[in-house]
Structure formats: C-alpha cells, structure tokens
C-alpha cells in the first residue's frame, strides 16, 4: 500500500518529496524546477546562467468574504421583509440592527482579522437567536443555516489569510 501511495505522489518507495525551486536561465529563458542550483543550464548548456526565481504563493480567486457579505445582505433583506410583515422585535430595534448588519457586510469585504472575527460572532448570534423559534417556524432552519454559514465562511477566510501569510514568511526565510 505504501508503494502505491508513493507512486501516486510520484515518489520512489521510502523517500519523501523534496522541495523543488524554480530557476530560469539568463541565456535561453527556459525555466526549470530543480532541487538545487546547477552550474550548467540543462537546455542551452551555458555555465553560470541559472538564477532562482522567487515565486509568490497563489491566492485563491474565490474568497469566502464575498459569500459572507452576500449572506449578510440576504439576512438584512430578511429583516426588511420581516419588518414590513410581522416584526418579532419592536421597530426601534430593527433599523439599527439592519444598519449594523449592512455595515458588517461591507466591513467583511476588507478581510481583516476584526472583520473575520465579527463575521464569526455575528453568524453565531444569528444562528443562536433563531434557535428558540425553530419549533414554531419551519423557515428558521434556513436562518440557522445562514448564520452557521456566515460563521464558517468567516473562519475559513481567516484561515486562508493566515496560511497565505505563513507561506510568504516561509518563502522570505528561504531566500
């Protein structure tokens, strides 16, 4: 089983994957992934022309913070609709709550640590605040899932940012 695992990863049996770095030849422009610097270019065979290329880690194009903003706007829309039909809270609470949720939705786009933590807390609060009404209203499961989704996506965004930051720091230490 270990041999099959190693072959699937492109490893020889019993060996660990070795990190390969990107090098570019100054003469021919060819790029190579090598474990260490070589004095001779494998393509044009010129001496001392290989230069290590610093790679920046790839950042995911789809960011969870965009979905956090979308879900918070959906919740703000729910509050506006609920305000016009049959409000559960006094009118005095709805307007500030809607403004706060829209503000947090816009703030979530920044992807900062405070905005991610605020998204996690607000998502948990949304889910928790609709738990008591779950037995009387079947649509509350949607609102609970919406709150959980906001909290999970806020946490995912923070983890992605931290992983990307640690890769950048690791790369700076290697260079």
User: What is the per-residue pLDDT across 34-63, written as a single tens digit (0 to 9) for each?
Assistant: 888 888 888 888 888 888 888 776 655 668
Q: Which pLDDT belongs to residue 60?
A: 58
Distance CA 95, CA 79 (A): 9
Q: Give the pLDDT score at 61.
A: 66
**pLDDT higher than 50, residue 8:** no
CA–CA separation, 39 and 45 (whole Å): 9
DSSP string of 9-73, one letter each residue: TT--TT-PPPP-EEEEETTT--EEEESS--SB-TTT--BT-EEEPPPPPPPPSS-HHHHHHHHHH
Boundaries of every domain in the chain: 2-53, 64-168
Q: Is the pLDDT higher at 95 or at 172?
A: 95
Instruction: Residue 97: name the closest of 78, 110, 120 by CA.
Output: 78
Q: What is the band of 7 on the pLDDT scale with cuts at 50, 70, 90?
A: very low
The closest alpha carbon to 23, from 32, 13, 35, belongs to: 32
Question: 2-53 — its CATH code?
Answer: 2.20.28
Residue-wise pLDDT for 81-116, tens only, equals 877 676 666 667 778 888 999 999 999 998 889 999
- Average pLDDT of the chain to the nearest whole number: 81
pLDDT the model gives residue 96: 85
Task: From 149, 151, 157, 147, select the one nearest 65 (Cα to Cα).
Answer: 157
């Amino acid at each position: 089983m270990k041999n099959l695992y190693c072959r699937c990863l492109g490893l020889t049996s019993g060996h660990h994957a070795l990190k390969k770095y990107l090098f570019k030849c100054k003469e021919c422009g060819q790029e190579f992934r090598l474990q260490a610097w070589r004095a001779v270019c494998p393509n044009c065979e010129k001496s001392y022309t290989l230069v290590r290329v610093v790679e920046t880690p790839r950042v995911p194009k789809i960011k969870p913070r965009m979905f956090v903003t979308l879900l918070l706007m959906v919740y703000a829309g729910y509050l506006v609709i609920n305000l016009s039909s049959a409000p559960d809270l006094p009118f005095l609470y709805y307007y500030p709550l809607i403004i706060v949720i829209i503000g947090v939705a816009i703030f979530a786009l920044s992807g900062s640590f405070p905005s991610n933590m605020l998204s996690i807390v607000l998502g948990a609060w949304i889910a928790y605040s609709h738990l008591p009404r779950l037995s009387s209203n079947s649509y509350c499961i949607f609102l609970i899932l919406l709150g959980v989704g906001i909290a999970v996506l806020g946490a995912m965004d923070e983890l992605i940012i931290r992983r990307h930051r640690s890769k950048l720091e690791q790369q700076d230490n290697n260079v």
